[in-house]
Structure 1
């Protein structure tokens, strides 16, 4: 019974760690972010992003939703240009649960609990570029496990989660 509980706890921790998005941000400390009220997408930069057009649309729709919720308006003469960039890589995690006693197909005794988890980790960069200065003003970076199951609904939810976590850090709290 202890072994089953230990395995269940390990799996829950694994699922929880894969579902979270780790976010970091960087910004120009001399920028007055309260001056930014309008945005547009930086088409030249977005066209270079090496992901499917469908995923680009999903990301841009999520970014637009978050900016509109923050009081921005979309404009042909924007204060900031929004650019995105993505990276992905395969990850393998090995978890060793040490030794526990329990049932084994050939005997009752110690089991060595080693679990291997393979997944794709994605990183999404969201850049806000000062349209007048043509300089990067703010960058949010989110990293976490991607949904590669083929379930489109779950993929869209994961993209929204990534973008929401990143944009929750904008505007920065300037100290």
Structure 2
């Protein structure tokens, strides 16, 4: 009987771990995205991003992979320019667990905090924003944003960044799956 109660909990963890990146997009609904086939990077914007050069290379490589898989080509005379920026913040979680019996109260309430336990954990959460700019008009036409947990483990950084970029650019161009 106990195993039946654990199955929904296990399924929740499986589905929750499918994608750890939350994404959204915004775009100009008056733009015809079908005419855009080539891209380049907005060099002055990319240079301003305050992350390590190694992480910049990881992001650029991932964007190249995704854009090329969608049929776009890099060009000296592009239809669109791609820019990105990042933001990182530290999240702090405080969890209190209180076990035991209180005097004359229901089970679980404990005025003396007997058996209580407090844990504090921290993790880094980051945001990657990718902008797509009409190269001729110099106007922002599409913006995608992904938020999720970051890893300090260098072995998993490539994988983590690729997941962020892939999930964000899944929505580009708008209206196509």
Q: TM-score range by the shorter chain?
A: 0.7 to 0.9
Unaligned runs of 5+ in 1: 102-109
Q: CA, structure 1 residues 30+99, in 2 after alignment: closer, same or farther (shift >3 Å)?
A: farther
Structure with a larger share of its residues in strand: 1
Match of 1:49 in 2: 49
Conserved in 2, the CA contact under 8 Å of 1:100 and 1:113?
A: no
Match of 2:148 in 1: 144
Match of 1:106 in 2: none
Q: CA, structure 1 residues 147+133, in 2 after alignment: closer, same or farther (shift >3 Å)?
A: same
Match of 2:70 in 1: 70
Residue 59, structure 1, aligned to residue 38, structure 2? no
- Report the aligned-residue RMSD: 2.9
Match of 2:158 in 1: 156
- State the Cα distance separating 1:84 from its structure 2 match: 0.7
Query: Which of 113, 124, 128 pairs up with 1:124?
Result: 128
- State the Cα distance separating 1:123 from its structure 2 match: 0.5
d(CA) in 1 for partners of 2:147, 2:167:
10
Match of 1:168 in 2: 170
TM-score by length of 1: 0.79
Unaligned runs of 5+ in 2: 102-113
Provide runs of 4+ in structure 1 moved above 2 Å: 93-101, 110-117
d(CA) in 2 for partners of 1:33, 1:111:
61
Q: CA, structure 1 residues 162+100, in 2 after alignment: closer, same or farther (shift >3 Å)?
A: farther
d(CA) in 2 for partners of 1:55, 1:89:
17
Aligned residues: 156
Q: Could you list the per-position Cα deviations for residues 40-66 of structure 1 after superposition, in whole angstroms to 9, with x for gaps in the alignment?
A: 011010000000111000001001100
TM-score by length of 2: 0.78
- State the Cα distance separating 1:172 from its structure 2 match: 1.4
